[in-house]
A and B are shown apart, each in its own frame.
Chain A
Amino acid sequence: MTLALPATAIVSKLEAELSGSIVESSDNTITVKDEFLFKVASFLRTTPGLDFDYLNFVTAVDYQAYFEVIYNLISLEHNHGLIMKTRCNNREKPELPSVISLWRGADFQEREIYDLFGIVFTGHPNLKRIFLWEGFKGYPLRKDFKQ
Chain B
Amino acid sequence: MVLKTEKFMINAGPQHPSTHGVFRMRFTLDGEVIQDVELVFGYLHRGIEKLAEGLTYTQDIVFTDRLDYLASMTNNQAYVVSVEKLAGIQVPERAEYIRVIMSELMRISSHLMAVGFLLNDLGAFLTPLLYMYREREKILDLFDMVCGQRLTYNYMRIGGLSQDIPEEFLPALKKFIDSLPRFIDEYDQLLAQNEIMLVRTKNVGILSRESAINNSTAGPVLRGSGVKWDIRKADPYSVYDRFNFEVPIGNIGDIYDRYRVRIEEMLQSISILKQAIEQLPQGEIQAKVPRSFRPPKGEAYGHIEGPKGELGFYLVSDGSVNPYRLHIRPPSLLNLTVLRELLIGVKIADAMAIFGSIDICVGEVDR
- For residue A140, CB closer than 8 A to chain B, the reply is yes
Q: In the assembly, what is the distance between CA of A104 and CA of B338, in Å?
A: 8
What chain B residues lie within 8 Å of A107 (beta carbons)? 337
Tell me how far the C-beta of B285 lies from the nearest C-beta in chain A, rounded to whole angstroms. 26
Q: In the assembly, what is the distance between CA of A1 and CA of B303, in Å?
A: 13
A57-B327, A57-B329, A59-B327 known; A130+B215 contact, CB < 8 A: no
- For residue B41, CB closer than 8 A to chain A, the reply is yes
What chain A residues lie within 8 Å of B316 (beta carbons)? 61
- For residue B235, CB closer than 8 A to chain A, the reply is yes
User: Are the C-beta atoms of A57 and B312 separated by less than 8 Å?
Assistant: yes
- For residue B68, CB closer than 8 A to chain A, the reply is no
What chain A residues lie within 8 Å of B42 (beta carbons)? 129-133
User: Which residues of chain A in 59-107 are interfacial with respect to chain B, using CB atoms and an 8 Å cutoff?
Assistant: 59, 61-62, 70, 72, 76, 79, 83, 103-107
User: Are the C-beta atoms of B329 and A2 separated by less than 8 Å?
Assistant: no
Tell me how far the C-beta of A135 lies from the nearest C-beta in chain B, rounded to whole angstroms. 13
User: Are the C-beta atoms of A108 and B334 separated by less than 8 Å?
Assistant: yes
User: Are the C-beta atoms of A1 and B234 separated by less than 8 Å?
Assistant: yes
Of A6-14, A16-24, A48-56, which binds chain B? A48-56
Q: Which of A1, A54, A62, A130 contacts B216 (CB 8 A)?
A: A54
- For residue B78, CB closer than 8 A to chain A, the reply is no
- For residue B301, CB closer than 8 A to chain A, the reply is yes
Q: In the assembly, what is the distance between CA of A109 and CA of B314, in Å?
A: 14
Q: A145: nearest residue on chain B (CB-CB)?
A: B50
Q: Per-position contact with A for B325-350: 1 when CB-CB < 8 Å, else 0?
A: 10101000110111001000000000
User: Are the C-beta atoms of B366 and A131 separated by less than 8 Å?
Assistant: yes
Tell me how far the C-beta of B192 lies from the nearest C-beta in chain A, rounded to whole angstroms. 29
Interface of B is mostly: mixed
A1-B234, A70-B314, A140-B50 known; A108+B325 contact, CB < 8 A: no
Q: Which of B213, B329, B336 contacts A76 (CB 8 A)?
A: B213
What chain A residues lie within 8 Å of B234 (beta carbons)? 1-2, 79
Tell me how far the C-beta of A136 lies from the nearest C-beta in chain B, rounded to whole angstroms. 10
Tell me how far the C-beta of B328 lies from the nearest C-beta in chain A, rounded to whole angstroms. 9
A1-B236, A2-B234, A132-B42 known; A108+B214 contact, CB < 8 A: no
User: Are the C-beta atoms of A2 and B314 separated by less than 8 Å?
Assistant: no
User: Are the C-beta atoms of B235 and A59 separated by less than 8 Å?
Assistant: no
What chain A residues lie within 8 Å of B211 (beta carbons)? 104
What chain B residues lie within 8 Å of A1 (beta carbons)? 234-236
What chain B residues lie within 8 Å of A130 (beta carbons)? 41-42
User: Are the C-beta atoms of A76 and B337 separated by less than 8 Å?
Assistant: no
Tell me how far the C-beta of A111 lies from the nearest C-beta in chain B, rounded to whole angstroms. 9
Q: A115: nearest residue on chain B (CB-CB)?
A: B42
- For residue B45, CB closer than 8 A to chain A, the reply is yes
User: Are the C-beta atoms of B214 and A53 separated by less than 8 Å?
Assistant: yes
User: Are the C-beta atoms of A105 and B214 separated by less than 8 Å?
Assistant: yes
- For residue B49, CB closer than 8 A to chain A, the reply is yes
- For residue B283, CB closer than 8 A to chain A, the reply is no
Q: Which of B227, B301, B334 contacts A109 (CB 8 A)?
A: B334
- For residue B310, CB closer than 8 A to chain A, the reply is yes
Q: In the assembly, what is the distance between CA of A78 and CA of B367, in Å?
A: 32
What chain B residues lie within 8 Å of A116 (beta carbons)? 49-50
User: Which residues of chain B in 206-221 are interfacial with respect to chain A, using CB atoms and an 8 Å cutoff?
Assistant: 211, 213-217
Q: In the assembly, what is the distance between CA of A131 and CA of B41, in Å?
A: 6
Q: In the assembly, what is the distance between CA of A9 and CA of B329, in Å?
A: 27
Q: Which of A54, A72, A129, A133 contacts B301 (CB 8 A)?
A: A72
User: Are the C-beta atoms of A108 and B333 separated by less than 8 Å?
Assistant: yes
What chain A residues lie within 8 Å of B217 (beta carbons)? 105
What chain A residues lie within 8 Å of B216 (beta carbons)? 54-57, 103-106
What chain A residues lie within 8 Å of B229 (beta carbons)? 76
Q: Which of A56, A70, A108 contacts B310 (CB 8 A)?
A: A56
- For residue B324, CB closer than 8 A to chain A, the reply is yes
Q: In the assembly, what is the distance between CA of A61 and CA of B333, in Å?
A: 20
Q: Which of A61, A79, A133, A140 contacts B325 (CB 8 A)?
A: A61
Closest A-B pairs by Cβ, 5 of them: A105-B216, A2-B235, A131-B42, A131-B45, A59-B327
B residues contacting A by CB (< 8 A) are 41-42, 45, 47, 49-50, 211, 213-217, 227, 229, 234-236, 301, 310, 312, 314, 316, 324-325, 327, 329, 333-334, 336-338, 341, 366-367
A residues contacting B by CB (< 8 A) are 1-2, 53-57, 59, 61-62, 70, 72, 76, 79, 83, 103-109, 116, 129-133, 140-141
- Can you name 9 A-B pairs with beta carbons within 8 Å? A1-B236, A2-B234, A53-B213, A53-B214, A72-B314, A76-B229, A103-B216, A107-B337, A131-B42
